[in-house]
Amino acid sequence: MTAPTDAEHAPNVARMYDYFLGGCHNFAADRAAAEKILEIFPDTGIAAQANRHFLRRAVRHAAEQGIRQFLDIGAGLPTQGNVHEIVRQVAPDSRVVYVDHDPIAVAYARRLLPTDDRTVVVHADLRRPDELLAHPEVRAAIDLDRPVAVLLVAVLHFVTDAEDPYAAVARLRDATAPGSHLVVSHLTMDGAPPLPAQQGQAVYRRSSAPLVPRAHADVLRFLDGYDLVEPGLVPVAEWRPDGEPQERVSHGYGGVGVRR
């Protein structure tokens, strides 16, 4: 990547995640913060890969159920196995809208992804779902009268309770047709000792977004109004493993619901 501007000097959660995944779209400040996280939780890179594997399996499942429209909110920087590549293996005519609130992630996605009328990159914020849904490019690509898969993968844990992520997710649910899917993965500290958890959160407090791990019951609430697909909300690596080689390391829960 080219030399950082002032805005890029602070660690950024999208680029830290890129570093955890072994990507090259990150700067020194991102790498330094990510290395601090790796000192505290050495298997974070493996857990990030497990999250991507969950995303791949969940998205493929939705496509196999007949979903042809995908709204990937908090999509992040392009990486190996982007959503449009996964779903088009099942259904080449699928539409994919990538959404992120980070202008740099959006700029890189626009530059690196083959955008056309079926693959769109939109700058919008999960915390403002009405604006997101009303965005002209979202409206052009997604028909809300037909089922859509809304992907909220490793993004809700960057939205604090004070910002009311539950209301935002409920708004997205209410705007989508019955049969729509919700794919959620979410960081947890269930079972983690308190000190490393606090140390990890301290690193993220100095980044572009605070980290808000949630307990199982609190993640489950995001899926209110949806019927959970088996095996329910489980550690991401345990959600329908499909024989692809992967280490069973999960730092969060993953689940898929179908809107009633």
Ligand X SMILES: C[S@@+](CC[C@H](N)C(=O)[O-])C[C@H]1O[C@@H](n2cnc3c(N)ncnc32)[C@H](O)[C@@H]1O
Residue 74 within binding range of ligand X, rule CB under 6 A: yes
Exactly one of 57, 61, 101, 214 binds ligand X (CB under 6 A); that residue is: 101
Q: Which is nearer to ligand X, 110 or 260 (CB)?
A: 110
Measure Cα distances from 223 to 18, 20, 230 in Å.
27, 27, 13
Which range binds ligand X by CB under 6 A, 10-18, 198-206, 218-226, 238-246? 10-18
Tokens 């009633």 sit on residue: 260
Instruction: Using the minimum distance from each CB to ligand X, give the nearer residue, 30 or 100.
Output: 100
DSSP state of 116: B
Q: Which of 29, 122, 159, 220 binds ligand X (CB under 6 A)?
A: 159
What is d(CA 122, CA 89) in angstroms, rounded to the nearest whole number?
23
Which of 51, 188, 207, 250 is close enough to bind ligand X by CB under 6 A?
Answer: 51
**Region from 1-9, 70-78, 140-148, 214-222 binding ligand X, contact rule CB under 6 A:** 70-78
* Closest CB to ligand X among residues 59, 260: 59
Examine residue 25 and tell whether it contacts ligand X (CB under 6 A): no
Among the listed residues 62, 97, 109, 153, the single contact to ligand X using CB under 6 A? 153
Closest CA to 183 of 87, 77, 248, 45: 87
209 binds ligand X (CB under 6 A): yes
Tokens found for residue 77: 């920087």
Q: How many angstroms separate the Cα of 183 from the Cα of each of 154, 169, 196?
A: 10, 11, 28
Residue ranges in 109-148 that form contacts with ligand X under rule CB under 6 A = 125-127
For the chain, how long is the longest CA-to-CA vector? 48
Sole residue written with tokens 């955008």: 115
Least separation in angstroms between residue 189's CB and ligand X is: 16
Q: By CB under 6 A, is residue 236 in contact with ligand X? A: no
> Is the peptide bond preceding residue 42 cis, with omega within 30 degrees of 0?
no
Stretch that binds ligand X, among 74-82, 172-180, 191-199, 252-260 (CB under 6 A): 74-82
Q: Check binding of 96 to ligand X (CB under 6 A).
A: no
Specify the residue, 60 or 127, whose C-beta has the smaller distance to ligand X.
127
Tell whether residue 155 is a contact of ligand X (CB under 6 A). yes
DSSP output for 210-245: ------HHHHHGGGTTEEEPTT-SEEGGGSS--S--
Tokens, residue 122: 């939109």
Residues found near ligand X in the complex (CB under 6 A): 13-14, 17, 51-52, 55, 73-76, 100-102, 105, 125-127, 153-155, 158-159, 209
